[in-house]
Amino acid sequence: MTPSGIRQPQAWTHESLQREVDALKNEPGAMLPILHAIQDRFGYIPDAAVPIIAETLRHTRAEVHGIISFYHHFRRHPVGSHVVQVCRAEACQAVGARQLEAHIKAGLGVDYHQTSADNEFTLEPVYCLGNCACGPSIRVDDDIHGRVTAEKFDRLVDRLTTSILEVK
Amino acid sequence: MTVTVYVPCDTTALALGANDVAALIEQEAKSRGLDLKLVRNGSRGLFWLEPMVEVETAEGRVAYGPVEPHIVAELVDTGLFEGERAHPLALGLTSEIPYLKNQQRLTFSRIGITDPLSIDDYKAHRGFAGLEKALAMDTQAIVDEVKHSGLRGRGGAAFPTGIKWQTVHDQPEGQKYIVCNADEGDSGTFADRLVMECDPYVLIEGMTIAGLAVGATQGYIYLRSEYPVAHRIFTEALRRAYEAGYLGADVRGSGKQFELEVRLGAGAYICGEETSLLDSLEGKRGMVRVKPPLPAIQGLFGRPTVVNNVLSLAAVPFILDQGSQAYADYGMGKSRGTLALQLAGNVRRGGLVELAFGATLRELMEDFGGGTLSGRPLKAVQVGGPLGAYLPESQWDSPIDYEAFAAFGGVVGHGGVVMFDDTVDMGEQARFAMEFCSVESCGKCTPCRIGAVRGVEVIDRIRAGDNRDANLELLSELCDTMVAGSLCAMGGMTPFPVQSVLQHFPDDLTRSRGGSPC
């Protein structure tokens, strides 16, 4: 099975950033849709996007920065090949999320908001994935996994880091 | 002969391997030359049985679960396609499973039964019947119907939905909005997600009826970004509803307009608070607004706005279709109708339990939940999300009803029930409540912004045995200040779980750890 939802962020240019902003700028309350569009396409919100958004939407750069930094979902730095989010909320705590969290941090050798040395995994906390009856839960890219044990997590990491070599 | 097999497609089923199971079932059918109709239905909400596979038989649908991918071949060999019931994972007729049979599913009458994206399926199960009636009604008559049902906001605040609609209805004509709060951030809740993934048209129908009732032509659904599956399914449902003429400039040829759009949140718990949600929809930081003015008078972009939770709006089609009395016949006291309870955390049989108000927590956790997953004694239960109190055993016999819970300082909230066994350290849970608030506070008011940070520090000192009595008193005072002085429920209710630990589990908080707290 190939895991779905693998992000393949494209490299941004000033022109491509401007195009994303222009495509949505006339929507009512365009800011969040624009930020989502940029992050979905480029993997994060580059610093260069801030003046472009500010100019186009008639905001100050400080306001745009303030909005981006308010929301946990938006990132200002590139991420690894996969984003791993670990649920830290109560329902998952009740079934061992704290132990799983420690295992994942040790296994990947990173703390939250960091990317593993091989650039494969960026680790983030998340507060609830809505899978509260079958925790502990994690999200890897757009896939949610339930009843995650240390072993299950290790298998998942193995599967995601196994590169497929094409023989011609 | 065609065999119809159902494999659910909601987040929980997918998180437990439903896509792999579906693929394997197709493979097995193919290798046997069987004519298979595979339906990706919604979940029935019996999550401990997911992925729960169902097979259509002459007597009805027969269920198997939990079906892990490696067991598919064995199940097929023992007669899955024939609906044989000999295998240990065979559950018999789905409709006879007590967990399901003992519920009163009004809002959730269709989940798991239908293909969530099929409009034909939806209509075959009374879908859009409420909308058809509403289209023929006077706007005031629609508002009255909702008022008479006694429906109260299911997001947590429990404000009467009909009165909110009346306020917006009575505002002068002009641009008005319907905003659906689908920022289901409480841990232990997944009912909004189930609506959007398993029966999306009921929400579309409910919002359209709301639009007709108050004279709003535009609706927004503010969906949290943590729900990618709900986003995918609901977006497709919207597209199909437009295509079929249920949305747009001329809803079902009535000449009335209603447009609907999904907007994604961005990982901010506070945006579940209605005014903060509106600021976020407007493209700002999700800061809480001072009320008044009420959103019903000055809401989105300064215009009159109905802000309702997913479950409130999803209850409306039933009320319009079957009448307000049919809904009000369920429930107790001032809590009419049904509540979607969500059993989560350390629970053997977790899932969705829709019941009339009035059942007790103990019935819910024992009869439905079957106790803890670990098999250890249950120690505490948090009802109503991260801002809800931790309830000790002495409070489990109280009926689940807004007033009865309020009487002892409990919160029904959005109906999430998170169970903890006796290995839980309640001191750690109290600390987490403050930590969560410090991460998620919007920062507008001081008691919440600063109080939460100080709260973590004081709890750390108590747990480290540092000047304990003085710090316990300080924590108590801090909680009082936050409750009395915060602008919204975030800071105002964060102390509830902390105070409940102080009151009912003080030993956990004061037990000396001798070192630095974790």
Q: Considering only alpha carbons, which residue of chain A is nearest residue B417?
A: A91
B342·A132 Cβ contact <8 A: yes
**B193 vs A91, A130, A145: nearest CB:** A130
Q: Do A91 and B418 touch (CB under 8 A)?
A: yes
Residue A72 in this model has a pLDDT that exceeds 60: yes
Inform me whether the pLDDT recorded for B193 exceeds 70: yes
- Region of B150 (left: φ > 0; alpha: ψ -120 to 50; beta: rest) is left
Q: Which of B274, B155, B144 is nearest to B209 (CA)?
A: B144
**Is B489 in contact with B448 (CB distance < 8 Å)?**
no
Provide mean pLDDT across the span B40-68.
98
pLDDT-derived band at B513 (thresholds 50, 70, 90) equals low
Of A67, A74, A129, the CB nearest to B284: A67
What average pLDDT score do residues B276-284 get?
98
CB B304 within 8 Å of CB B168: yes
Residues ≥6 apart with Cβ < 8 Å to B22: B7, B38, B40
According to DSSP, residue B290 is labeled P
Residues of B in contact with A29 (CB under 8 A): 263, 281-283, 301
Percentage of chain B beyond pLDDT 90 is 97
How many angstroms separate the CA of residue B442 from the nearest CA in chain A? Answer: 8
Please provide the distance, in angstroms rounded to a whole number, between the alpha carbons at the two ends of chain B: 61
CB < 8 Å to B345, chain A: 90-91, 93-95, 132, 135
Rounded to an integer, the average pLDDT of A55-74 is 98
Residue B444 pLDDT: 97
Per-residue model confidence as pLDDT tens digits over B286-311: 999 999 999 999 999 999 999 999 99
Of residues B11, B280, B281, nearest to A130 (C-beta): B11
| SS3 at position B68 | coil
* Spatial distance between the Cα atoms of A70 and A77, rounded to a whole number of angstroms: 15
> Across the strands, what pairs with A124?
A85
**Would you give the DSSP letter of residue B187?**
T
Q: Which among A73, A94, A133 has the least Cβ separation from residue B267? A: A73
Q: Which of A57, A70, A140 to mutate to test the interface with B (most CBs of B within 10 A)?
A: A70
> What's the distance, CA B127 to chain centroid?
21
Q: What is the mean pLDDT of residues B223-248?
A: 98
Which tens digits make up the pLDDT trace of B91-100?
A: 999 999 999 9
Verify whether the Cβ–Cβ distance A147 to B23 is below 8 Å.
no
> Minimal CA–CA distance to B436: which of B346, B372, B496?
B496
* CB–CB contact A1 B346 (8 Å): no
β-pairing verdict for A121-126 and A114-115: antiparallel
pLDDT value at position B512? 56
C-beta neighbour count of B63 within 10 angstroms: 27
CB pairs under 8 A between A and B: 159
The interface residues of chain B toward chain A in range 435-454, judged by CB-CB distance below 8 A, are 436, 439-440, 442
C-alpha B49/C-alpha B112 separation (Å) is 13
Q: How far is CA B426 from CA B227, B316, B340, B380, B498, in A?
A: 29, 39, 27, 9, 9
pLDDT of B255 > 50? The answer is: yes
Helix (H, G, I), strand (E, B) or coil at B498: helix
CB A133 within 8 A of CB B12: yes
**Has residue B230 got a pLDDT over 70?**
yes
Q: Residue type for B511, please? A: R
Contact (CB<8Å) B267/A30? no
Average pLDDT, chain B: 96
Q: Residue written as tokens 């079929």?
A: B244
Q: Name every residue in A having a CB less than 8 A away from some CB of B.
A: 1, 5, 28-33, 35-36, 57, 66-67, 70-74, 89-95, 126-135, 137, 139, 142-147
d(CA A73, CA A32): 11
- Structure confidence at residue A165 (pLDDT): 59
pLDDT tens, residue by residue, B32-43: 999 999 999 999
DSSP for B126-171? TTTHHHHHHHTS-HHHHHHHHHHHT-B-TTTT--BHHHHHHHHHHS
CB within 8 Å: A137 and B229: no
User: Do the chains contact at B190 and A130, CB–CB below 8 Å?
Assistant: yes
User: Residues A26-40: pLDDT tens digits?
Assistant: 999 999 999 999 999
pLDDT band at A9 (very low <50, low <70, confident <90, very high): confident
pLDDT at A3 over 90: no
Residues in chain B: 518
What number is the average pLDDT over the span B117-146? 98
Closest CA to A25 of A58, A49, A67, A48: A58
CA atoms within 13 A on the CB side of B28: 23
pLDDT at position B470, please? 97
Question: For B214-225, what is the mean pLDDT?
Answer: 98
Q: Let me know: does B361 contact B381? Beta carbons within 8 Å.
A: yes
Enter the ipTM. Answer: 0.95
Question: How many whole angstroms separate alpha carbon A99 and alpha carbon A149?
Answer: 9
**Which residues of chain A does B419 touch, with a Cβ-Cβ cutoff of 8 Å?**
94
Angle value at C-alpha B293, between B288 and B299, nearest 5 degrees:
70
Residue A167: its pLDDT value, please?
62
The DSSP bridge partners found for residue B160 are B152
Nearest Cα to Cα of residue B499 among B410, B424, B413? B410
Cβ B401 vs Cβ B332: under 8 Å: yes
Copy the structure tokens of residue B61.
């649908």
Question: 10 Å Cβ neighbour count for A137?
Answer: 29
Mean pLDDT, rounded, for B425-434 = 98
Q: In 3-state terms, what secondary structure has residue B6?
A: strand
Q: Is the pLDDT score of B182 beyond 60?
A: yes
pLDDT band at A163 (very low <50, low <70, confident <90, very high): low
Closest residue in chain B to residue A30, using alpha carbons only = B283
SS3 state at B382 = strand
Q: Which helix (H) or strand (E) holds B489?
A: helix B489-493
List all residues of chain B from 276 to 335 with a beta carbon under 8 Å from chain A: 280-286, 301
Q: Tell me if B15 and A57 make a contact (CB, 8 A cut-off).
A: no
* pLDDT exceeds cutoff 60 at A1: no
- What predicted TM-score, i.e. pTM, was given to this entire model? 0.96
CB contact under 8 Å between A131 and B15, yes or no, is yes
What angle is formed at CA B365 by the lines to CA B193 and CA B100, rounded to 5 degrees?
60
Contact indicator for B498, B433 with CB cutoff of 8 Å: yes
Partner residue facing A70 (CB), from B48, B268, B347: B268
pLDDT at residue A6 tops 80: no
Give residue B511's pLDDT band: very low, low, confident or very high (50, 70, 90).
confident
Give pLDDT tens digits for B453-479.
Answer: 999 999 999 999 999 999 999 999 999
Q: How far is B353 from chain A (nearest CA, A)?
A: 12
Please tell me the distance from the alpha carbon of residue B249 to that of residue B242, in angstroms, as a whole number. 10
| Structure confidence at residue B515 (pLDDT) | 44
At A141, list the tokens: 């890219």
| Predicted pLDDT of residue B514 | 46
Transcribe chain A into DSSP letters: -PPS----PPPP-HHHHHHHHHHHTTSTT-HHHHHHHHHHHHSS--TTHHHHHHHHHT--HHHHHHHHHH-TT--SS---SEEEEEE-SHHHHTTTHHHHHHHHHHHHT--TTEE-TTS-EEEEEES--S-TTS-S-EEETTEEE-S--HHHHHHHHHHHH-PPPPP-
Residue with tokens 């040829």: B253
Residue A8 has pLDDT above 80, yes or no: no
Mean pLDDT score of chain A = 93
Q: List the beta bridge partners of residue B4.
A: B37
Contact B129, B321 (CB under 8 A): yes
Q: Cα separations (Å) of B1 from B29, B58, B336, B447?
A: 12, 13, 46, 67
Which runs of E-coded beta strand occur in B365-511?
A: 378-383, 390-391, 416-421
Q: Give B-chain residues touching A126 at CB under 8 angstroms.
A: 226, 267
Distance between CA atoms of residues B24 and B20, nearest Å: 6
Task: Give B226-254 as a 3 state SS string.
Answer: CCHHHHHHHHHHHHHHHHCCCCECCHHHC
* pLDDT for position A164: 59
Average the pLDDT over B181-208 and give the result: 98
User: Does the pLDDT of residue B210 top 50, yes or no?
Assistant: yes
